[in-house]
């Protein structure tokens, strides 16, 4: 499960904004873990956490599932290097989100597709649905000859409910190319490959925000 060297993302939230910090696990004990001094994801600067600060922590396991847990800063140690001490609930209390559990939602997200080896010209388009595991995209006419199995680089722009924009670059595989029944539109389904934990968390959060937004619209229509 969690192992030394894993990247861990700490998230704190107040009424106005979300703060995210990135660190690495340096030591693991039954009820606590030690991490490097974390870096603020937005500013790139090292942050100094105070005892008692609480966070939502996440990491991606060897099985590619996302694991979540609540944690609190309980202290600091200086040997062999300066580290932060976080509470750790143990493996049995981690919340696991598997790939197949990723919520797929309808969403028109801006995305650009780039080749890895000049197989085609880059193009910009939109998604028709997206999740933390993949997306479906509309193909421009010149890209309808893309082959299944091709690995590409996807650049995704996420506009969060908070107003923040996040830019994600992730290697992806073309799973299939197909024509939408009854139209001239072609689509491709993508599988996201290796991804940083913080990016996976962003996509999960975006998907849930979008799901809530769609649900509110449906309830408004029924009323």
Same domain, 194 and 170: yes
Q: Within this chain, do residues 44 and 117 fall inside the same structural domain, yes or no?
A: no
Residue of 2, 1, 9, 44 whose CA lies nearest to 195: 9
Does 167 fall in a domain? yes
| pLDDT tens-digit readout, 166-177 | 899 999 999 999
Per-residue pLDDT of 56-85, as tens digits, reads 898 888 777 788 899 999 999 988 888 999
Domain that holds residue 36: 7-98
Q: How much is the pLDDT for 222?
A: 58
Please report whether residue 63 resides in a domain: yes
Percentage of residues of the chain with pLDDT beyond 90:
42
**pLDDT surpassing 60 at residue 117:** yes
117 and 207 housed in the same domain:
yes
CB atoms within 10 A of CB 153: 15
CATH code for the domain of 41: 2.30.110.10
pLDDT in tens, 33-42: 999 999 987 7
**Would 180 be classed as within a structural domain?**
yes
User: CATH number for the domain including 132?
Assistant: 2.40.10.220
Label residue 223 by pLDDT band (50, 70, 90).
low
Of residues 161 and 14, more confidence is placed in 161
Cβ contact 168:111 at 8 Å: no
Q: How many domains does the chain have?
A: 2
For residue 219, give the H/E element and its range: helix 197-222
Which one, of 49, 114, 124, lies nearest residue 85 by Cα?
49
CA distance 185 to 139: 7
- Region 140-166 average pLDDT: 89
Q: Which of 98, 129, 151 is the last residue of a domain?
A: 98
**Do residues 147 and 177 share a domain?**
yes
């Amino acid at each position: 499960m969690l192992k030394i060297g894993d990247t861990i993302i700490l998230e704190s939230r107040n009424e106005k904004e979300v703060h995210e910090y990135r660190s690495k696990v340096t030591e693991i004990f039954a009820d606590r873990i030690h991490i490097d001094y974390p870096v603020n994801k937005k500013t790139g600067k090292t942050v100094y956490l105070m005892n008692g600060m609480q966070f939502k922590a996440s990491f991606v396991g060897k099985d590619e599932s996302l694991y979540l847990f609540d944690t609190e800063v309980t202290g600091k140690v200086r040997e062999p290097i300066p580290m932060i001490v976080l509470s750790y609930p143990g493996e049995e209390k981690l919340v696991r989100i598997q790939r197949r559990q990723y919520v797929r939602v309808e969403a028109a997200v801006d995305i650009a597709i780039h080749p890895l080896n000049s197989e085609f010209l880059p193009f910009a388009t939109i998604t028709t649905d997206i999740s933390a595991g993949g997306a479906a995209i509309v193909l421009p006419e010149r890209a309808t000859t893309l082959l299944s199995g091709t690995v590409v680089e996807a650049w995704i722009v996420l506009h969060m409910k908070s107003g923040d924009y996040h830019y994600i670059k992730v290697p992806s595989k073309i799973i299939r190319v197909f024509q939408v029944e009854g139209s001239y539109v072609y689509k491709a389904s993508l599988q996201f490959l290796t991804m940083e934990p913080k990016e996976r968390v962003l996509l999960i959060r975006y998907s849930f925000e979008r799901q809530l937004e769609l649900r509110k619209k449906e309830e408004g229509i029924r009323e």
